A and B are shown apart, each in its own frame.
Chain A
């Protein structure tokens, strides 16, 4: 997965990273955020399978974590504060969370570019209706294009199985596979997806 360290996300990117286990997740997550911090990008992540403090420590190893958090360049949340804030996944609430976050960032543009990460492992213990996840990811596809940021969605196939793959492929234009960013031939544009009614 070393190639991810050379990953240079572009504004509007909506990437889907599939992995097996936390070790592979770290190989995707840590370079994505760390390179962003070192490039002066804002980094905002929601993590689930590892405590927030641990991820912060891993991402900022050798850097001034306190300064990065104080300046707002690094923001890290757990799924209990975000995806599962109401006890179960509410796509509308989560969409509102991200929209507010984007509005705040745009209002005070201290950073030119933002890297946003969402780890979806919480789906294992709090399964959500397929339509809700589809709605959320479809919205995210359009959301990515509206701001100066790139979104990386992380799905642990060991926890979630492969049944979710098709829906994710339809809603993510790019895939992060084998350390490489691949154009996704299965991606369906948001309006097409809406027209199909799925």
Chain B
């Protein structure tokens, strides 16, 4: 405080200086006038200080003015200012020891103020600082002698003016704080409104996934993306899109994949954005089995509250978008089922073509009919698990038209040419990545170059599906074009000759199997397919080598054929294939 009194006072404040030598004994009137002049001077000083105090907006400035004014008004000095609830005003502290004593003395002093005992001070007084609304604290002053009543009035007036000025400063500070809070609220609201408006535009204009990430990137300045539940990137907006290869490698890493899965689970559980992997992610789940992951790339965790709000708005629009796509897909699926049924059944080929075109499929392009079935369906398996697996294998737009028929799913897959087999790899890969997409049989029909070809391709696909199934294979994907002798046999118009051929070579074995429920014909088929190698044949049949030897002995015994004789082996091999083809054609 006023350790820095700027001037070196020449006389006691409140009494104007006059050389002592010049003094003669003043009259009573002169003394009274002199006293009045001194008091008037002090009052004017108080008014001047009040004027400056009222102009200060900082509470500390007001307290400083009051504390430094005391010696200029009365022959006292300031000990300190004690604020109610906040203690001694730190900017004015000069003597810690004195304040500690004053603290104890103030504890005994009422809020209205009064004399206090301070060590080393002849006289000390606590002057109350107050406003209309509140008690502010005490201005504690001390002096060598007790001030006159008039001087005490001056001090009380100073304290009163100080209280009003402090209240004024606090009111101003409160107003400033309110204005700042209001301004912040307005800014936040404006930002939220802008976010809301931006995403509303995306929703109304059908901006889709790309529109959502573009808006999010624009609002936050951070790269943004959308992934499906498995981590496949569906949309991206930002300066450096992640490379496909890098993404595949990252996702292939089991640890990272597990971390990501945990993050997604946490976001689903909390319903709020979560941080991890240098990202801020949230999820949109319009249905329990449909999840979209919306994220901001934020390695430095710089995203603020407004960015989180933008992410949440984006997730809402993404949920709407996913629900729309879901509804669209289900509608397409329903329409697609009718189209597929009419095409493969040959019932309304022309109408089906038009409807397929309305669904964005061009049947004039080469297609193949593919039939998929589960190798060994479990009794407790949900009826549409295969259908969902096949749909899940095509996450992109315009999936193949498909329908469920019994325990199989029939779909029409577009191909580039007759020699194109890439679709099969893609289909098998997609299926393997879905729950329930393993241990499947796929039968692929011949090429369709027009709507009239679909019934044939469907029959062929069923044959391609059944032959490996009937031969006991666990998992297979067979294209009709690759069936070889099966294809030849299946195209024989009159099957009676084929049946006679089968009976001639396999008759006793077929009868034995029919009577005993054994599988000698199938055993023979595998043995011959394996070129007579015991281990290979036993492996594909899933039996032991000794069992195979026993069965082959029974086959020799019942049929009377010498399996080592080349021509006999050829005839028997052909007969087993004819038998399998006939079974497949009859639907067995």
Contacts and interface: CB of A to CB of B under 8 A. Distances in A.
Interface string B1-34: 1101111111001001110000000000000000
A163 B10 contact: no
A160 B72 CA distance: 12
Nearest to A125: B4
B511 to A, nearest CB: 112
A169 interface: yes
A128 B48 contact: no
Contact of A130 (B1, B7, B47, B68): B7
Contact of B48 (A120, A123, A165, A197): A165
Interface in B55-98: 55-56, 58, 61, 64-66, 68-69, 71-72
Given A129-B10, A158-B64, A159-B6, A166 B55 contact: no
B16 A127 contact: no
A163 B5 contact: yes
Given A130-B9, A160-B6, A166 B72 contact: yes
B7 A165 contact: no
A117 to B, nearest CB: 18
A123 B7 contact: yes
Nearest to B16: A198
A159 B6 CA distance: 8
Contact of B6 (A20, A163, A169, A178): A163
Interface in A144-178: 157-167, 169, 175, 177-178
Nearest to A159: B4
A159 B10 CA distance: 20
Contacts of A20: 56, 58, 61
A18 B8 CA distance: 20
Which of A130, A165, A175 has the most B CB atoms < 10 Å from its CB? A165
A193 B71 CA distance: 22
Interface of A: 18, 20, 120, 123-124, 127-131, 133, 157-167, 169, 175, 177-178, 186, 196-198
A12 to B, nearest CB: 22
Given A127-B7, A130-B8, A166-B48, 16 more contacts: A120-B6, A124-B6, A127-B5, A157-B68, A160-B6, A161-B6, A161-B69, A162-B66, A162-B72, A163-B6, A163-B7, A165-B45, A165-B52, A166-B72, A177-B51, A186-B47
A18 B52 contact: yes
Interface string B228-267: 0000000000000000000000000000000000000000
Given A20-B58, A177-B55, A163 B68 contact: yes
Contact of B8 (A120, A127, A157, A158): A127
B41 interface: yes
Contacts of A169: 44, 48
A178 B61 CA distance: 14
A124 B8 CA distance: 11
Contacts of A163: 2, 5-7, 13, 68-69, 71-72
B4 A124 contact: yes
A177 B52 contact: yes
A133 B7 contact: yes
A129 B58 CA distance: 30
B49 A128 contact: no
24 contacts: A124-B6, A127-B5, A129-B8, A130-B10, A158-B61, A158-B64, A160-B5, A160-B6, A161-B1, A161-B5, A161-B6, A161-B64, A161-B68, A162-B52, A162-B66, A163-B13, A163-B68, A164-B7, A166-B48, A166-B49, A166-B72, A186-B44, A186-B47, A197-B16
B176 to A, nearest CB: 15
A129 B7 contact: yes
A186 B4 CA distance: 24
B6 to A, nearest CB: 4
B280 to A, nearest CB: 40
Contacts of A124: 4, 6
A157 B64 contact: yes
A104 to B, nearest CB: 30
A128 B56 contact: no
Which of B13, B17, B51 has the most A CB atoms < 10 Å from its CB? B51
Contacts of B72: 162-166
Contacts of A130: 7-10
A186 B2 CA distance: 23
A196 B38 CA distance: 12
Contacts of A123: 6-7
Contacts of A127: 5-8
Contacts of A167: 7
Contacts of B49: 162, 165-166
B156 to A, nearest CB: 17
A10 to B, nearest CB: 22
A143 B189 CA distance: 58
B10 A165 contact: no
Contact of A160 (B4, B41, B44): B4
Contacts of B56: 20
Given A177-B51, A186-B44, A197-B16, A162 B69 contact: yes
Contact of A161 (B4, B41, B48, B55): B4
Nearest to B61: A20
A177 B54 CA distance: 10
Nearest to A180: B55
Contacts of A131: 10
A166 B44 contact: yes
Contacts of B1: 161
Contacts of B45: 165-166
A141 B65 CA distance: 25
A111 B66 CA distance: 43
A196 B55 CA distance: 30
Contacts of A120: 6
Contacts of B5: 127, 160-161, 163-164
A167 B48 CA distance: 10
B59 to A, nearest CB: 12
A-B complex: 3 closest residue pairs judged by Cβ atoms = A161-B68, A163-B72, A166-B45
Nearest to B65: A162
A129 B4 CA distance: 14
Contacts of B17: 198
A105 to B, nearest CB: 29
A68 B130 CA distance: 52
A166 B10 CA distance: 15
A96 to B, nearest CB: 22
Nearest to B11: A130
Which of A130, A162, A197 has the most B CB atoms < 10 Å from its CB? A162
